[in-house]
Amino acid sequence: MKKWIAIVLWLLISYVAFTGYSIWTYGEDQKNVQAEAAIVLGAAQWNGKPSPVFEGRLKQGIELYNDGQVEYLIFTGGESEHAVASEAEVGRNYAVNHGVPKSDILIESTSQVTKENLINAKEVAEKQEVDSFLIVSDKYHLKRAVAVARENGMEAKGVPTDYSAYKTIETRMPFFLREWGYFIGYKLLDPFRS
């Protein structure tokens, strides 16, 4: 019995360690990929201006568009209580102010969490017959976001922003550990949710 317990514990520790490594390194080879649209995952906005985290994602999405790697930008994210606009609207305004034509921007402005971001973005994209995606976010968020997208029938790859606000080990490590926990929780618990 002790032998089986040791084997199970070893497998569990190995899975957790491998998951951490795969989150830490995810997206390092995804810079020259192409798709029909980039989904820029929402983050906080402050009085109608993107937070530093959100701005980093927006810059990467606009760069993908300007480089011809995508034809459309899809901005996601609803509004928090007392917000002047949704995250998606702030993203759209930022992109327009940086030269992206409004006709090449799609938004969904009701979601509050990653899974909703992606499911709602897919619905918006389907109306334009768009069905391949690059998901733009901060590096440690991408493995979970891409897993959610693919499990919801989306052809998706993740592109980490080069402009992340998480620059120092003091800011990166808590974000990484949080996403590590979220990813493991998602894989263990989400299949049991309706």
Question: How many degrees, rounded to 5, is the angle at CA 99 between CA 54 and CA 128?
Answer: 80
pLDDT for 194: 38
Q: Model confidence over 141-192: pLDDT tens digits?
A: 999 999 999 999 999 999 999 999 888 889 889 999 999 888 888 877 765 4
Choose among 97, 107, 103: nearest CA to 76: 107
Tell me what pLDDT residue 193 has.
47
Q: With a cut of 70, list the residues of the chain below it in pLDDT.
A: 28-31, 190-194
> 29-161+169-192 adopts what CATH topology?
Rossmann fold (3.40.50)
pLDDT of residue 192: 44
Tell me, what's the pLDDT at 15? 82
pLDDT on residue 48: 87
Residue boundaries of the structural domains of the chain: 29-161+169-192
